[in-house]
Amino acid sequence: HSALTQPTSVSGSPGQSITISCTGTNSDVGGYNYVSWYQQHPGKAPKLVIYDVDNRPSGISGRFSGSKSGNTASLTISGLRAEDEADYYCSSYRSGDTVIFGGGTKLTVL
């Protein structure tokens, strides 16, 4: 099974907003509201930033938001800051009680 499709890279200037897309199929993203997003800085473990499509864990800035339409989920980061520069991965529950990740997106803050 191939990974969910994410853009390889996105960039934005401080203060701007960016959106990262995550495209799957009816068997994962489109079929369930169990999409989560993880932020990973170099050499560090992934950190949960969005769960169940559009929910933020405690302690995560309101600048992070999630949404979904059909087979595509999206992560939006508003008011970009230097510390947002990281790799971002989407993940979804997939039928058969498995999990699938996206290929990852490198966010560069210019």
Partner 1 sequence: QVQLVESGGGLVQPGRSLRLSCAASGFTFSNYAFHWVRQAPGKGLEWVAVISYGATNKYYADAVKGRFTISRDNSKNKVFLQMNSLRAEDTAVYYCARVADEGVYYGSGSYLQYWGQGTLVTVSS
* CB half-sphere exposure, 65, CA atoms < 13 A: 10
Q: For residue 68, what are its two tokens?
A: 């979904």
Q: For residue 50, what are its two tokens?
A: 């969005």
Are residues 71 and 25 in contact, defined by beta-carbon separation less than 8 angstroms? yes
Binding flag, residue 93, partner 1 (CB under 8 A): yes
Q: For residue 106, what are its two tokens?
A: 């490198």
Task: Output the smallest distance, CB 29 to partner 1, in A.
Answer: 14
Binding residue for partner 1, selected from 22, 102, 107, 109, defined by CB under 8 A: 102
> How far is Cα 109 from Cα 100, in angstroms, rounded to an integer?
27
How remote is the C-alpha of 42 from its chain's centroid? 16
Binding flag, residue 30, partner 1 (CB under 8 A): no
Task: Output the smallest distance, CB 18 to partner 1, in A.
Answer: 19
Q: Restricting to residues 38-77, which ones interact with partner 1 according to CB under 8 A?
A: 38, 40, 45-48, 51-52, 57
For partner 1, the binding residues (CB under 8 A) are: 1, 3, 32, 34, 36, 38, 40, 45-48, 51-52, 57, 87, 89, 91, 93, 96-104
